[in-house]
Structure 1
Amino acid sequence: MKLGVITDGISRDFEHALTVMEEFGLDYAELQFVWDKEVGNLDAGERARVRELLERHGKKVSNICHHVFAGMPMSTKPGEPVHVKHMDTLKRCIEIARLVGSPKVRILSGKKEMILWGRHGAEQWNVAKGAWDALLPLIAPAIELARAEEAQLVVETGNGTMVNSCWTGRRLIDDLDAKDVLTVLWDPANNCWAHEDAWPLGYETLGGAGGGYLGHMHVKDVQADTPKATLEVRPMGEGQLAEQWEPLAAALKDDGYDGVISYESVYHPGDGNFEAGFRQSVERFKQIFA
C-alpha cells in the first residue's frame, strides 16, 4: 500500500515535515499548506524550492490539496468573480502538480445545503430547491479544464461541502459524466457527520477499489456528535471508525487499490502540538494499512 501524510499536519516547515516522513518511512507527501501559504499560492521560487526538497528527501507527491471551491455558496453563478478566482487557483494547482509530479489535484464542492432531495412532502417543505442543480455548472468548467490539461481531479467528501458522502461523490461524477477525469477523494471520518459508515457501506457505494470512483484517501479518526454539532478528533483507532479500519484496509489490499492513503494529522493531545499527535498515531496507521 502507498502510504503518505498531508505534510502540514506535521509542520508547515516543509523540510522538517519531510524529515519526519523519512523517520517513519512514509513515501508520499500531500501538499496543502507549505510554509506560510496554501499550496496553490506558492510563487515560482517557492515551487522550485518544494521540488528541490522533494528530490533531496526522495519523496513523491500524491495530491495537490488546495481548497478549490471551498465555501462557495450555491447562489454563485459560473463566471462571477469568486468562481473565476477559484478557477484561476485550480489552473495554478494543475501547473504545480505537473511541476512536482503529482497525479491528483483536489477540488471541493461548495458550501453545503443540508437537504438536497426529498419525497412525500419533503420535496415541498424541506429541500434546498435547486442547490444540487446549481452545483453542476460550477464544477463543469473544472472538468473541461482537467480534460484540456490532461489532469486528474479528486473531489473530497468534506465536512460542510455539498459532497459529504460516497453517495454524493459518486452522483456528482455520474451527473457530470466525468469519470475520465474526476474521482472521489474519500475521507471516511468526514463522512461520519453524514452517518455513512466506511465499511462496508462507503466502500461498496464507490464500487470498491476497482469501481473507478475511488481516486485517493484521507485517513483520520473522529467522534462525531451531529445533534450537539460537535466533532472530536481522536488518535488513530480510538474513534467511531475503530472497528471499521481493519476490514476496510483488508478489502483495499484484496481488491488491488493502487492509489495513495494519506494520514491527515489533525489530532493534538490538548496542547495544539499536531506533530505530537502525528507521532502518537502514525504507527497505528501504518500497522493497519501497510
Structure 2
Amino acid sequence: MKLGVICDGISRDLGHALDVMDAFRLDYAELQFVGDHEVGDHSPHEIREIDGLLRDRGKSVSCLSRHIFAGMTVQNRLGDALHRTHMDALKRVIDMAHVVGAPLVRIMTPKKEQILWGRGGAERWNVAQGAWDSLLPLIAPAIDLARAESVRLVVETGNGTMVNSNYTARRLIDELDAKETLQVLWDPANNCWCHELAYPDGYAEVKDGYLGHVHIKDVLVDTPRATLEVRKMGEGQLGPLFADIAKALRADGYDGVVSFESVYHPGDGDFEAGFRDCIDTFKRLFG
C-alpha cells in the first residue's frame, strides 16, 4: 500500500521531516503544520518553497489537513462569522492543494452532541434536537466549493466531533449526496472513543467506495474516566486489529494512502523518538 506520515508529527521543519521519511522510505507527505503556520496560512512564496522542496525530494502530498469546521458548535449557522472564517480558510487550502498537487483536503465537523437519534422515549427526552440537521447546511457549501474546484474532500472521524465514527461519516455523505466529492478520512483510533469496533464493524461502513484516506495510531481509551492514552503501535486496543484492517484494505483494493500519525512519545515529549519506536511496526503491517 501507499505509506506516508503526517509530517509535523515528526517535525514542523519540513526539510527534517523529509530526511526522516527518506530514512524509512516513506513516499507520501501529509501536511498539517509547516513551519510557523497551518496549511492555508502560508504566503504564495512559502507555498512555492514547500512545493519545490517536496518535488526536489521526490515526495507526493497525500492530503492537506487543516482543522476546517473544528471548534464550531450547533449554535453556529450558515454564513455566520465563524462559518465564513472556516470557508475562507478552506478556499486557501484548496488553492494550496492545486499548487502542491494534493488530491485531498481534510475537513472536520463541529463539536459533538452526544445523542443525535433515539427511540422508545429517548427521541423526546435525550436527543439533542436538531443537532444533526444543523450540521448539514454548514458542510454543504464546502461540497459545492470542492466540486467547483475539482478537488476531493475527506471528513475525519474525530474524538469530539459530530462525525466521530464511520457510521456518522457515511451518513453525512449520504445525506449530502456527496459520495463523488466527500469521502471518509478514517482514524480508527479516534473512533475508539465512541466504541465503534474498527474491524469488522467500522471498516464495513466505509469499504464500499466511501474510504478516501486513513490515519493510523494506537490508543487506549477510558471513556468513563474521560482519559485517552496514546500507546506505542501494537500495544493499545487496536493492536489485535491492525493486521485484519491491513488485510482487508489489500483485499478490497484500497488505492489511497495510509498515513502514520506520530502522536506517541515514550514519556519524554519526544515525538520523533515515538515515531522511530513505531514506524517499523507500521511498515510491517501496512507495507
Superposition TM-score, scaled by structure 2 size: 0.99
- 1:7 deviates by 0.1
Q: Aligned AA for 1:98?
A: H
Residue-by-residue CA offset, 1:46-84 (whole Å, 9 max, x unaligned): 101100110111100000000000010111111111100
What secondary structure, in the 3-state scheme, does the structure 1 residue paired with 2:115 have? coil
Partners in 1 of 2:103 and 2:235 — Cα distance?
31
The letter of the residue matching 2:97 is A
Q: 1:1-290, aligned counterparts within 5 Å?
A: 1-206=1-206, 208=207, 211-290=208-287
Which amino acid in structure 1 is aligned with residue 119 of structure 2? Answer: R
Gaps of 5+ in 2: none
Q: Whole-Å Cα distance in 2 between the matches of residues 89 and 227 of structure 1?
A: 35
Give, in angstroms, the shift of residue 45 of structure 1.
1.4
Q: Secondary structure at the match of 2:224?
A: coil
User: Which letter does structure 2 place at the counterpart of 1:253?
Assistant: R
User: By how many angstroms is 1:90 displaced?
Assistant: 0.3
Structure 1: which amino acid aligns with 2:182?
L
Q: Give the aligned residue type for 1:260.
A: V
Runs (4 or more) in structure 1 with deviation over 2 Å come to none
TM norm structure 1: 0.98
Q: Report how far residue 226 of structure 1 moved.
A: 0.2
**Shift in Å, 1:174:** 0.3
SS in 1 for 2:213: strand
Give the counterpart letter for 1:246 in structure 2: A
- Residue-by-residue CA offset, 1:171-213 (whole Å, 9 max, x unaligned): 000000000100000000000001011110011111x2xx110
How far, CA to CA, are the matches of 1:265 and 1:133 in structure 2?
A: 34
User: Unpaired segments of 5 or more residues in structure 1?
Assistant: none
For these two proteins, the number of residue pairs brought into alignment is 287
CA apart distance, 1:121? 1.2
Identity of aligned residues (%): 64
RMSD: 0.6
SS at match of 1:21: helix
Provide the secondary structure at the position in 2 that maps to 1:164. Answer: coil
The amino acid that maps onto 1:133 is D
